[in-house]
Amino acid sequence: MSDAVGCEMKFGVFLPPSAQNNPKEKLPVLYFLSGLTCTEANFTQKSGFQRYAAEHNLIVVNPDTSPRGLSIEGEDDSYDFGSGAGFYLDATEEKWKKNYRMYSYIVDELLSVVAANFAVDTSKQGITGHSMGGHGALTIALKNPGTFASVSAFAPISNPMECPWGVKAFTGYLGSDRSTWAKYDATHLVKEYNGPPLDVLVDQGDQDDFLKNGQLLPDNLLTASVGTKVKLQLRMQEGYDHSYFFISTFIGDHIQHHATHLNKKN
Ligand SMILES: N[C@@H](CCC(=O)N[C@@H](CS)C(=O)NCC(=O)O)C(=O)O
């Protein structure tokens, strides 16, 4: 039962073999935030991350994407708002503000619950995610300098204030005053970031229909990051779409990126 969102929340936890052999040893942890329509299960079943996490000795935690089953009117009406579409923010609109608090759920609750129940080294936490979850990973890392020593994203919604998915979600959860939106927009947050230097890896398929339809806008994030303490590497991957086939192809590179940065930090 989550205090932050007021319902039961599921998440996956992968423990590498060494955690079973030596349960007291504290290991680095990587959080993966999923995209629209996903539960915690999509990443576990489709990404193939396990062999890479085992190889690099990382614990991996993958939460669900929203509260569920609350009987809020409109909660299940569309794939891009409500259930499966929490957008990793704390809603302020009356109907949603009690439960749609995925930002607080991840930052204040999940990290503590994981640290209290598994042998994680909290000085070695990484965060990544896909699409809406890429937006979540980037915004959560940028808003909490020093909490995550490594950051990456797959096809993130990079500038939600300027895309249809983001405008719909932010209007619904935060209201129509756009001045309240920027604090959940990576392209705005990156310009203000003043924490430890971050090397961020972003992969994006060039045949991704959501890229073509202006939902993802990674170039806006890349441009905004120039001259900041965030060094962003945006890799355009030829022929790849938005699916988990794209994620499963590059998850090994991302886990390598996280392992390298997490193990640098002592
Ligand atoms: N048009 C799609 C949009 C949703 C979508 O593509 N979701 C992505 C994340 S933004 C996903 O990971 N889907 C689940 C899967 O592929 O397993 C739908 O209606 O299902």
**Taking the model in full, what pTM does it have?**
0.97
Q: What is the pLDDT along the chain (266 residues), one digit of tens a residue?
A: 999 999 999 999 999 999 988 889 999 999 999 999 999 999 999 999 999 999 999 999 999 999 999 999 999 999 999 999 999 999 999 999 999 999 999 999 999 999 999 999 999 999 999 999 999 999 999 999 999 999 999 999 999 999 999 999 999 999 999 999 999 999 999 999 999 999 999 999 999 999 999 999 999 999 999 999 999 999 999 999 999 999 999 999 999 999 999 988 54
CA of 38 to the centre of ligand 1 (A): 7
Name every protein residue with a CB atom under 6 angstroms from any ligand 1 atom: 35-38, 42, 46, 79, 130-132, 242-244
DSSP state of 45: H
Task: Provide the b/e sequence for 163-194 (b: ≥16 CB within 10 Å).
Answer: bebbebbbebbbeeeeeebebbbbbbbbeebe
Q: What's the pLDDT tens digit per position in 9-65?
A: 999 999 999 998 888 999 999 999 999 999 999 999 999 999 999 999 999 999 999
Q: Whose CA is nearest to atom 9 of ligand 1?
A: 35
Identity of the residue numbered 224: A
Q: Is 131 a catalytic residue?
A: yes
ipTM over 0.90: yes
Return the structure tokens found at 204: 């994006």
109 CB-near residues (< 8 Å, 6+ apart): 2, 3, 4
* Active-site hit among 34, 66, 131, 152: 131
Burial class from Cβ neighbours inside 10 Å (0-12, 13-18, 19+) for residue 263 reads: middle
